[in-house]
């Protein structure tokens, strides 16, 4: 069952949860001319999430999740794109977190509003700088700027079942067609967290040892293939089926994902995560993740683990303004857990 705390707010959050993403606690404006109000601070954007989902002293978004461990093996091709040490360090230990959407820790796994699912990764090389990666299971983001993100969150919070029609959310979606598309084209609930592709919707600049740079976005492709549930199959699943399934799956053998860098072409939008790049763009394999065990103390590990989207080593740099404010907002959300 969903937590009883702030039930009216929780109910309206559930009804529109698919509008949001894994990967964010907040975003920063990249097109100032589109916004008439002053830019929101990281703290205000975290508050915007709480206005939609409530403050449950957990992650402000993607609150329900499972932590696992394994290692990353880089490909030789990765070193042609970037001099980052994580791609030349041999097998790199990793901690990963699969999650459901919303800031509601008790959200059921078996509802469509728990989409998009999240995958966060912390690479922990024995020497040199590590890095964090934050992704979700939709190729794109509902809005272009941080101020729009805050507006969306407040629109959700103001659009409960008793709100007068048209609601604030109705008005927002009418003027933001990409957000409406995001809402209406989510994948059905998956067979497993291990049977979804995940996308890093923000852009990074990769620089090689010769100083040559390319803009990239990340994607993670499951070696097991993409598999979602039919309506009939979904009816047989309980509210924690994904948490249970991933534990059973990893006991039977490692879970694997191939990590790719999608390469921008001239004219691709670098600083707007709501615009996906064409599937015709070249993809270079960066390596493979092998996830082979569940973290033993889930409660303590989840309480203390912070994934920072701007945590990158030399050879990788944020290229999307959204990354900077996400990086600033995540520690604020982390503080609410403490």
Cα separation, 9 vs 104, in Å, equals 10
pLDDT of residue 15: 40
What does each C-alpha distance from 169 to 136, 156, 187 come to in angstroms? Answer: 23, 6, 22
Angle at CA of residue 273, ends 271 and 276, nearest 5°? 110
pTM for this entry: 0.87
What percentage of the chain carries pLDDT values higher than 70? 89
Q: For the segment 278-337, what is each residue's pLDDT rounded down to a tens digit?
A: 999 999 999 999 999 999 999 999 999 999 999 999 999 999 998 988 899 899 999 888
Cα separation, 195 vs 263, in Å, equals 24
> What secondary structure does DSSP assign to 193-249, as a single string?
GGGS-EE--S-EEEE-TTS-EEEEEEEEEETT---B--HHHHTT--TTHHHHHHHHH
How high does pLDDT run on average in the chain? 88
Model confidence at 172, pLDDT cuts 50, 70, 90, reads very high
Average pLDDT of span 119-142? 96
Average pLDDT of span 119-124? 98
């Amino acid at each position: 069952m969903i937590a009883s705390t702030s039930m009216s707010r929780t109910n309206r959050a559930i009804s529109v949860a698919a509008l949001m993403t894994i990967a964010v606690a907040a975003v920063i404006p990249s097109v100032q001319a589109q916004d008439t109000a002053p830019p929101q601070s990281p703290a205000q954007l975290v508050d915007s999430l709480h206005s939609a989902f409530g403050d449950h002293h957990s992650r402000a978004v993607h609150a329900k999740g499972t932590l696992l461990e394994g290692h990353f093996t880089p490909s030789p091709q990765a070193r042609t794109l970037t001099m980052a040490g994580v791609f030349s360090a041999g097998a790199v230990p990793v901690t990963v977190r699969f999650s459901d959407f919303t800031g509601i820790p008790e959200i059921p796994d078996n509802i469509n509003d728990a989409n998009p699912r999240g995958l966060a990764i912390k690479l922990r090389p024995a020497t040199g700088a590590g890095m964090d990666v934050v992704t979700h299971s939709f190729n794109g983001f509902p809005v272009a700027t941080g101020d729009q993100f805050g507006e969306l969150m407040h629109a959700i919070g103001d659009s409960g079942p008793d709100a007068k029609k048209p609601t604030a959310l109705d008005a927002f979606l009418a003027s933001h067609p990409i957000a409406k598309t995001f809402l209406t084209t989510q994948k059905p609930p998956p067979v497993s967290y291990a049977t979804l592709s995940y996308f890093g919707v923000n852009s990074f600049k990769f620089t090689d040892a010769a100083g040559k740079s390319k803009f990239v976005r990340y994607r993670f492709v499951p070696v097991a293939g993409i598999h979602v549930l039919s309506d009939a199959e979904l009816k047989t699943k309980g509210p924690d089926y994904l948490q249970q399934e991933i534990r059973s799956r990893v006991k039977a053998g490692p879970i694997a994902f191939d990590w790719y860098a999608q390469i921008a072409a001239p004219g691709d939008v670098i600083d707007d995560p709501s615009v996906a790049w064409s599937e015709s763009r070249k993809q270079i394999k960066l390596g493979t993740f092998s996830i082979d065990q569940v973290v033993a103390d889930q409660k303590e590990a989840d309480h203390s683990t912070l994934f920072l989207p701007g945590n990158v080593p030399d050879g990788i740099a944020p290229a999307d303004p959204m990354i900077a404010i996400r990086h600033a907002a995540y520690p604020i959300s982390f503080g609410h857990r403490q």
